[in-house]
Amino acid sequence: MKNAMMMIDGESVAGTATRDAVNPYTDEAWATVPEATPAEVGRAVEAAQRAFHDGWRRTPGVRRAALMHALADALEAEAEPMARMESTDNGKIIRETRNQMAFAARNLRFFAGYADKIYGRTIPLDNPGLFDYTRRRPFGVAALITAWNSPIGLLANKLPPALAAGNTVVVKPSEHASVTTCELARLAAEAGFPPGVINVVTGGPQTGDALVTHPGVAKISFTGGSATGAHIAESASRRMVPVTLELGGKSPNIVFADADIDRAVVGAVSGIFAAAGQTCVAGSRLLVQRPVYDEVVAAIAARAAAIRLGDPLDPETEMGPAANRPQYDRILGLIDAARGEGAELVCGGGRATGDRLDTGLFIAPTIFGDVTPDMRIANEEVFGPVLSVIPFEDEKDAVRIANDVDYGLAAAVWSRDIERVHRVVDQLEVGTVWVNTYRSTAAQAPFGGVKRSGYGRERGADALDEYTYTQNVMIDYSGSARDPFTIRT
């Protein structure tokens, strides 16, 4: 049994209480995770405040960059055991968790490159004798809260820009998947980060509430469900604390009749069944133009039936279990609701059974056809391997259906007609649009949503704006008294 440890002020902390981490493949406890008390959360925030004021904010960018590169080196060296721990913790297949460790190191290196390049501007003014310039300043202590589906992948969107900008952090991973975040904090300490710069507290809602309401927190970045995000934003607004929210999605994957159907089918299958559908950008609504509707549905159903389910640590496995029992029960409940609303069950529709699947939280890849936009399954985020296929007539119909949900995180357009692509992209109310691909990502490309999918951006240079504020400096070098209400030209 592994004992995960929090990191507070450079020290590993066992905590006064613990909870079991359960492997969703075996349904057995494999680790213990501390349950932080409000007092322990307070210690972590205070340590981050001291580290910020006593040195980190004045640490040269080149030094911050060196430490970030050192952490990237350590993460790359430990990528295999880290990937295995994450797959054990949340059931994501080992091929994907390996990729996420590599991507996390890439993000660290990308933002390390910005650490000594966070520039201000000089601004010419109307009045001669005044010199004006801006500086980009860190907020202070940033609370970084991540979800259970991709703990290190999500943290890699937040931690690097926060550190590069000069903030210190207190990280709170999901109580359902905390182990790898604790391990990353250990690697950071070994890489030479000063005590208090990177702190990790673990636990459930009580821990999260203590963190986001602490008066020492100056910035919050949250990835998770929309309801929790709204609660955090409301709480933070009372203290005027800026918040970045990366929330849920109900992403439309739009296939036009002129698309390369083979490529579109592969994109649709990977878009919903990769990570067992437990990703905010899952292409859970497949919009298919009527002339190719039957062909596309048949092809996707055939591929879905062939997906290999099993041990997430087996490199041959293509889809793992649901990450935890509450999510497993919720997915099955939404499948039952779709049946009750009259959606046509094409394949799947319940627990997956068979060799090596008896103990795990496995759900069969599920497809519902002839879904109408008013059905619950077409509007509510399932966060599981459940695809809703919706037919459409033309461009106008596709755009109407695509935008007619509360979410606006991502979308895809499959078409060979570049003029059509640009017309449709221009009308989609989402933060990310893929064209003839799905779930592609890059450290340089900004990511985030609109509507109930949240606000603010992660990754890319835009992410630095989330962790800095602009300070304006105006200097009078005229040497004489000045009437501030007179504009001189």
Active site residues: 246, 280
**∠ CA 219-428-402 to the nearest 5 degrees?**
105
Select from 19, 15, 71 the least CA-distant residue to 44: 15
Which amino acid would we find at residue 33?
A: V
* Cβ contact 166:197 at 8 Å: no
- 10 Å Cβ neighbour count for 377? 24
Reported as type and span, the H/E element at residue 67 is: helix 61-77
d(CA 23, CA 32): 11
Give the tokens for residue 297. 């549905």
Q: What's the CA dihedral at 208, 458, 56, 211 to 10 degrees? A: -10
Query: Token match 């062909």: residue?
Result: 295
Quickly list DSSP for 134-193: EEEEE-SEEEEE--SSSHHHHHHHHHHHHHHTT-EEEEE--TTS-HHHHHHHHHHHHHTP
Select from 200, 190, 139 the least CA-distant residue to 9: 200
d(CA 366, CA 190): 45
* Cβ contact 363:385 at 8 Å: yes
d(CA 297, CA 78): 41
**∠ CA 484-486-489 to the nearest 5 degrees?**
120
d(CA 311, CA 187): 27
d(CA 422, CA 405): 21
